[in-house]
């Protein structure tokens, strides 16, 4: 490595005073200049750690982060006597304004039920979901990284106190054998956004020695010094020195988008679970109706035992009844499974995994669909899909890293400057008076150059950063292709399921008419044949399957519509998700933080 340094200095004393009108002329001008430069450097080095993210989503994130984990009987699972307390949410005062779920007994069955709308389900999930609570802390954590990066430019105060004594044997009257030195140093220093490092320090030294020729055996020597080093190439200027702050801001934005992505995922899961619960309860009704018809048919067959029904026909009807009764148990299980999935998402004190409450969906599914423009959906996905937004921000981080690596590959050329004023006297006061008078001022300015021969390390780092940027671009393109494929698939699912609704409805009507015709024919038939009984039982099964297919098509349409909005990054803009976000954001929850500390 080759290092070249050049400097020149001047020294002013009472015998060589500064010229009239110079910067250092006049009493205390030097001190004023130091104070002015210090204030100038401090202002230029101030870096704000504030983030400007407004809107309901950012407010919603801050509300959840400030509230902390959900209130439960046992928040941290430490109560060994009541282990289920970890699963039991308790009401939170902050969310009292969004309303509680109404739980009441069913007048028919006596079971506790809650009539839940899809809007209530989404509001409760967005307020209570542990999945969202977990991710809500990420932007707050990333926010502290911005503060840490900006803190590199804060002013630092420094001081030093030193006492030294010497007792050396001497063989000359021109040498001191005994000496004592006491040094007190205090000052401030800072690194600026341009890479400049400056310091302003005051040093007071009290010296004593036994040198016979010394006119002042005890003397005070105060020094007021201002030093500055400004990189001109490597490590210089804002683009490089603010890279850490800018990357921290982008990481915070990435975490905020990740929070939005989790909120969208949970909202989509709630929509899916809600409509699947509606489907499961409807399938339960269909299966019960099928079983009732089958038992009614079995009783009719048994009633004709003395007329024309044989044991074969009776067993045939009994087989169908038992098979459909067994299937009813599976349908009941499916209802409970889907309900538990929905309860886990909403995590409400009135309806959770420990409560014996049945959820009855009361919202009507959507039956109409608009015609989708594939090009417009793809544009929305490229603009608002959270994964693509995060990949785009990662590309910006890669570009910042390239600029930093390019700067680091340059030679080091620094501007070095310093100035100081000195005082000397037997007394402390007199010494400081001479210091502030500016009679003895020295200053130095120069350039320092370092050029690494070969520079392989920094060139390799620059190439690595360029390759990482290419990788980020390829990742963005690959992700865009995947999102486009998913968006087009979701469009086809929406269109297909919507088209199936009318077809399955017609199929269910036809099956209903067919069964009714068979029941009418049964009233006038003279003889019950095994063939007719089989046709009737099959017609009952066909009607149930057609009814299940109809509700399945309706549910698939509603779920695929939500999934399409999720791919395009607009699921939170749909009603009722947007109203839920706004309702929670308007709570104005009180933070659990106190004096900057988090319990």
At 86-133, the pLDDT tens digits run 888 888 877 777 778 888 888 887 888 999 999 999 999 999 999 999
Among the ranges given (35-39, 102-106, 233-237, 447-451), the one the predictor scored with the smallest mean pLDDT = 35-39
pTM of the model: 0.84
Among the ranges given (362-371, 462-471, 517-526), the one the predictor scored with the smallest mean pLDDT = 517-526
pLDDT at 508 over 90: yes
In sequence order, which residues have a C-beta less than 8 Å from that of residue 392 and are 6 or more positions away? 476
Instruction: Output the CA–CA distances (angstroms, integers) from residue 99 to 91, 269, 584, in the order listed.
Output: 11, 22, 11
Interstrand relation of 197-209 and 218-231 (parallel, antiparallel or unpaired): antiparallel
Terminal alpha carbon distance of the chain: 52
pLDDT at 13 over 50: no
Query: How does residue 346 score in pLDDT terms, banded at 50, 70 and 90?
Result: very high
In sequence order, which residues have a C-beta less than 8 Å from that of residue 202 and are 6 or more positions away? 185, 186, 187, 222, 223, 224
Q: Longest C-alpha distance within the chain, in Å?
A: 148
Query: How does residue 407 score in pLDDT terms, banded at 50, 70 and 90?
Result: very high
Q: Give the pLDDT score at 595.
A: 39
What residue has token string 């005062």?
93
* Rounded Cα–Cα distance for residues 213 and 198 (Å): 39
Q: Give the pLDDT score at 159.
A: 94
Q: Span 527-541, mean pLDDT?
A: 84
Helices (H), 347-385: 374-384
Q: Give the pLDDT score at 589.
A: 43
Rounded to 10 deg, the angle between the 56-67 and 243-303 helix axes is 90
Query: How does residue 434 score in pLDDT terms, banded at 50, 70 and 90?
Result: confident
pLDDT at 478 over 70: yes
* Ordered domains of the chain (ranges, CATH): 2-45+149-241+412-451 (no CATH), 56-76+83-129+245-395+468-576 (1.20.1600.10)
State the chain's mean pLDDT as an integer: 85
Structure tokens at 172: 């000359």
In sequence order, which residues have a C-beta less than 8 Å from that of residue 63 and are 6 or more positions away? 94, 584, 585, 587, 589
CA 192-193-194 angle, to 5 degrees, is 90
Q: Span 47-66, mean pLDDT?
A: 82
Q: Give the pLDDT score at 429.
A: 85
Most confident stretch, 29-33, 166-170, 294-298:
294-298
3-state secondary structure 434-462: HHHHCCCEEEEEEEEEEECCCCHHHHHHH
What residue has token string 């401090």?
42
Whether 67 contacts 94, CB under 8 Å? yes
Q: Give the pLDDT score at 303.
A: 82
Q: Span 330-346, mean pLDDT?
A: 95
Q: What percent of the chain has pLDDT over 70?
A: 87
Most confident stretch, 53-57, 72-76, 460-464:
460-464
Q: Give the pLDDT score at 579.
A: 77
Q: Give the pLDDT score at 44.
A: 55
Q: Give the pLDDT score at 182.
A: 93
């Amino acid at each position: 490595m080759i290092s070249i340094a050049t400097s020149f200095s001047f020294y002013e004393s009472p015998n060589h005073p500064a010229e009239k009108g110079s910067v250092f002329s006049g009493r205390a001008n030097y001190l004023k200049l130091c104070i002015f430069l210090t204030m100038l450097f401090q202002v230029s080095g101030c870096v704000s750690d504030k983030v400007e993210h407004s809107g309901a989503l950012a407010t919603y994130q801050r509300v959840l982060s400030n509230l902390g984990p959900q209130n439960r009987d046992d928040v941290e699972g430490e109560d060994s006597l009541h282990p289920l307390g970890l699963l039991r949410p308790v009401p939170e005062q902050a969310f009292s304004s969004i309303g509680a779920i109404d739980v009441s007994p069913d007048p028919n069955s006596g079971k506790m039920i809650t009539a839940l709308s899809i809007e209530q389900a989404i509001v409760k999930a967005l307020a209570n979901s542990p999945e969202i609570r977990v991710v809500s802390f990420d932007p707050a954590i990333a926010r502290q990284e911005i503060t840490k990066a900006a803190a590199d430019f804060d002013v630092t105060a420094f001081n030093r106190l030193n006492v030294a004594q010497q007792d050396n044997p001497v063989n000359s009257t021109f040498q001191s054998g005994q000496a004592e030195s006491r040094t007190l140093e205090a000052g401030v220093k800072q690194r600026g956004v341009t890479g400049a490092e400056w310091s302003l320090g005051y040093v007071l030294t009290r010296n004593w020695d036994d040198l016979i020729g010394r006119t002042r055996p005890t003397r005070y020597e105060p020094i007021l010094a201002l030093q500055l080093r400004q990189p001109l190439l490597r490590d210089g200027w804002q683009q490089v020195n603010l890279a850490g702050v800018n990357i921290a801001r982008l990481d915070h934005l990435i975490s905020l988008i990740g929070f939005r992505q989790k909120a969208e995922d949970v909202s989509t899961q709630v929509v899916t679970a809600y409509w699947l619960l509606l489907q499961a309860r409807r399938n339960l009704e269909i299966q019960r109706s099928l079983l009732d018809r089958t038992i009614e048919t079995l009783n009719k067959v048994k009633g004709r035992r003395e007329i024309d029904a044989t044991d074969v026909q009776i067993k045939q009807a009994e087989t169908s009844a038992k098979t459909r009764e067994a299937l009813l148990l599976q349908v009941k299980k499916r209802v409970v499974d889907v309900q538990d999935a929905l309860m886990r998402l909403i995590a409400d004190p009135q309806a959770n995994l420990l409560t014996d409450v049945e959820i009855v969906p009361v919202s009507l599914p959507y039956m109409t669909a608009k015609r989708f423009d594939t090009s417009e959906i793809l544009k929305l996905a490229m603009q608002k899909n959270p994964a693509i937004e995060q990949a785009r921000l990662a590309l910006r981080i890669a570009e910042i890293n390239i600029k930093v690596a390019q700067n680091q590959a340059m030679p080091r050329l620094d501007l070095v400057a310093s100035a100081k004023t000195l005082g000397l006297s037997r007394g402390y006061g007199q010494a400081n008076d001479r210091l502030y008078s500016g009679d003895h001022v020295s200053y130095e300015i120069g350039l320092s150059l370092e050029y690494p021969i070969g520079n392989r390390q920094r060139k390799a780092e620059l190439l690595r950063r360029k390759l990482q940027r290419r990788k980020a671009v390829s990742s963005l393109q690959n992700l865009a292709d995947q999102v486009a494929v998913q968006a087009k698939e979701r469009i086809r699912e929406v269109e297909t399921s919507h088209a199936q609704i009318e077809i399955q409805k017609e199929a269910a009507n036809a099956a209903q008419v067919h069964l009714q015709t068979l029941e009418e024919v049964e009233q006038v038939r003279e003889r019950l044949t095994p063939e007719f009984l089989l046709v009737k039982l099959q017609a009952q099964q066909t009607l149930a399957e057609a009814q299940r297919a109809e509700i399945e098509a309706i549910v698939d349409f509603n779920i695929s519509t939500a999934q399409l909005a999720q791919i395009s990054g607009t699921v939170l803009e749909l009603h009722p998700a947007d109203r839920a976000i706004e309702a929670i954001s308007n709570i104005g929850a009180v933070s659990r933080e106190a004096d900057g500390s988090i319990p």
